[in-house]
Structure 1
Amino acid sequence: MRSPPSLSNMNIDDTPVLDNHMHLDPIEGRNTDAVEDFVSVGGTHLLVLNKPSWHLREAATDEAIFEEVFELTIDAAADASEVLPGRAWPVLGVHPGLISQLVEEGYTPAAARDIMQAGLDIAAGYVADGPALAIKSGRPHYDVSDEVWAASNAVMRHAFDLAGEVGCVVQLHTEGSEDLTEITEWAQAEGLPPEQVVKHYSGGRLEGPIKSVIAEKDELEIAVEADEPFLMETDFIDDPERPGAVLGPKTVPRRVRWMLENGWDDAVRRAHVETPARVYGIDTEATLDR
């Protein structure tokens, strides 16, 4: 399926380059230094996800903690926009692993559900008021009790309901799967179109949500061959104790260069221009100045 490198009519300076899922930590992390790394190899746009609350402050148990974490992320995205030739948008929400943190602290799954849904209410408010682009939710990607699983699904469905009301995307953190059509059916039932459900850390094959493909060559080859809407991401976590995890901030631009060398110009445009416009309503070309 690979084309000879000479077939590409584009180079990386001809296209926006969006990392759909990157964390920045303005307290302990590299923050804008990581953004500068991204820009140095051709990156232009970012979606900045808040880190789990317990990575920035503590496990969120009330609105004040959620608000502090969200405000830190909004500020980090604004600082990133000062560095980028394009811009950054915040995506705010509640990491599904919070339920396990809360249950370990003695909360019932139902009480943890209510706390997490309240956090999503706050995140949706930031979308409605303008600073944030989308919200994040999901369910654990590890084994949990039936009660925790049910509570997690209720949290996720609440996110779909909120997103349907404010008209935004939900980025999902879930178990790995090649078929999540049940989840997009739930989203539709809550008033959210399937195209506004994005699976973070997706492989190249996925039924149901829009794929945000982890920027590994083998998964990107599959996504290119599928000829479907997709996005690209690193899930960079900006943790000084785990530098480069999950993938480093230079990875998406480097993969775009590799894709262009293989003649996959249409796929690059699909991932960095067409799908962002179709899914989020953002214009990565009009917001680019370099």
Structure 2
Amino acid sequence: MTDPDLPTPVLDNHLHLDPRHGRGMDAVRDFRHLGGTHLLVVNKPSWHLGVEAGEPADFRAVFEETIDVAGAADELLDGGAWPVLGVHPGLISRLVDERGFSPDEARELMQGGLSVAAEYVADGDALALKSGRPHYEVSDAVWDASNAVTKHAFTLGAEHDCAVQLHTEASEDLSELAAWADERGLTPERVVKHYAAGRLRGPTPSVMSERDRLERAAKRATEHGDPFLMETDFVDDPDKPGAVLGPKTVPRRVRWLLEEGYDDAIRVAHVETPRRVYGIDTEATLDA
């Protein structure tokens, strides 16, 4: 059951698990011990798992490892865990700058990898897709190719009726990307900006669980009903033990927000938004 001090489901919308190199299930146990109930487990960048993809099928090893680790996490949690699969947008720089791909060749490979990820969504083995574009300066050709990859992800999301998580540059206005999704039949609400600040135009923000960001999001949810999610982007890398946020952070921040009186915002983040974006009923899965 949930922590008695946390009378709510608690979802971390974006974290990574690496039982081969990192803490793996120990991180899930830490999350659960503090009151965490639900996880969305995003595959690590393919090259971090030793996969230097040359064709779309090469991504399968990454996706299947992520499905396996999400399944192991699911068995430990009172709620559940689901895989989110895709191609990290930083791969394009690795392909172009280090491996001699042209931007168009890199685009084709990455779009193919997303199509493979969508097969797992279609089969019910994954919940959502991830895509996006670099958060750093790149050439116009690489930028255009990255945007084409992102648009392909939106097309796949519409075809398979699933959400798309995005890695992008830091911004509080991504209404252009939301419009691209809408044009392809994917409602902008089901486009999720990973590593978001406390407010965002366009996609649904998945807010990094730092107090200042969360307080902005919670105020907007309380006053206007704005949707948001909470995340840590835990990287599970022993070489970067302090990178991003740890797996205990979301339940700790939920407790803090409840103490601050943001009960309605917590319901928005951990019950209403997961249902609207992913079709997850965090209360029913917890009761089950």
TM-score normalised by the shorter chain: which range applies?
A: over 0.9
Partner of 1:3: none
CA displacement 1:52-109 (0-9 Å, x = unmatched): 0000113322233200000000000000011111110000000000000100210000
What TM-score, normalized to structure 2? 0.95
Partner of 1:14: 7
Partner of 1:56: 49
- Aligned-pair CA distance for 1:29: 1.3
Q: CA contact under 8 A between 1:260 and 1:268: conserved in structure 2?
A: yes
Cα root mean square deviation, aligned? 1.3
**Partner amino acid for 1:288?**
L
Count of residues in Structure 1 that have an aligned counterpart in Structure 2: 281
Alpha-carbon distance between aligned partners in 2 of 1:96 and 1:242, rounded to the nearest angstrom: 20
Partner of 2:88: 95
1:146 counterpart (140, 143, 164)? 140
Q: CA contact under 8 A between 1:11 and 1:260: conserved in structure 2?
A: no
Partner of 2:28: 35
- Consecutive unaligned residues of structure 1, counting only runs of 5 or more, are 1-9
1:171 counterpart (145, 155, 165)? 165
Q: Check 1:93–1:211 CA distance in 2 against 1; reply closer, same or farther (3 A cut).
A: same
Alpha-carbon distance between aligned partners in 2 of 1:166 and 1:88, rounded to the nearest angstrom: 20
Alpha-carbon distance between aligned partners in 1 of 2:161 and 2:258, rounded to the nearest angstrom: 34
- Secondary structure at the counterpart of residue 14 of structure 1: coil
Q: CA contact under 8 A between 2:219 and 2:265: conserved in structure 1?
A: no
Identity of aligned residues (%): 67
Alpha-carbon distance between aligned partners in 1 of 2:209 and 2:52, rounded to the nearest angstrom: 29
- Secondary structure at the counterpart of residue 91 of structure 1: strand
* Pair 1:79 & 2:72 matched: yes
Alpha-carbon distance between aligned partners in 2 of 1:70 and 1:58, rounded to the nearest angstrom: 11
Equivalences for residues 96-111 of structure 1 within 5 A: 96-104=89-97, 105-111=99-105
Alpha-carbon distance between aligned partners in 2 of 1:64 and 1:241, rounded to the nearest angstrom: 29
Q: CA contact under 8 A between 2:28 and 2:247: conserved in structure 1?
A: yes
CA displacement 1:94-150 (0-9 Å, x = unmatched): 000000010021000000000000000011111011010000000000000000000
Partner of 2:254: 256
What TM-score, normalized to structure 1? 0.95
- Aligned-pair CA distance for 1:151: 0.2
CA displacement 1:19-69 (0-9 Å, x = unmatched): 000101132111111000101111000000000000011332223320000
Alpha-carbon distance between aligned partners in 1 of 2:102 and 2:179, rounded to the nearest angstrom: 28
Partner of 2:280: 282
* Pair 1:65 & 2:58 matched: yes
CA displacement 1:167-209 (0-9 Å, x = unmatched): 0000000000010000000111111111110000000010000
Q: CA contact under 8 A between 1:18 and 1:45: conserved in structure 2?
A: yes
**Partner amino acid for 1:81?**
D
Equivalences for residues 139-288 of structure 1 within 5 A: 139-227=133-221, 228-288=226-286
- Consecutive unaligned residues of structure 2, counting only runs of 5 or more, are none
**Partner amino acid for 1:196?**
R
Runs (4 or more) in structure 1 with deviation over 6 Å come to none
CA displacement 1:219-252 (0-9 Å, x = unmatched): 0010011121000000000001111421000000
**Partner amino acid for 1:284?**
T
